[in-house]
Structure 1
């Protein structure tokens, strides 16, 4: 559990910030795709799923 220091009002939730960043990247990718839907492979690439798993195997 992280507690903000006494007198400080700013608390950073690094997990939430990372999720917000990934959502932003998905929005940008979807916007760039125009009328087309993003494929599952494209979404995995934007979210860096293979990097997180530590391999380059496609999702099944």
Structure 2
């Protein structure tokens, strides 16, 4: 589901076809795996910080400015 562009903006899109050989395909998969691992780490970190702040607020500890 995409939103319509804002008035005055132009939307450009390019579609590329990749035809990697076996070695390049392995590297592409490796990079995708590392990117996914980094994403999962970031989500876990943000979630844990959020829960920690929520717990501190329930104990009456003020949020630092």
Q: TM-score band, normalised by the shorter chain? A: 0.3 to 0.5
Give TM-score scaled by structure 2 length: 0.36
Give TM-score scaled by structure 1 length: 0.39
Q: Tell me: higher relative CO, structure 1 or 2? Use CA pairs within 8 A at least 6 residues apart.
A: 1
Larger-Rg structure: 2
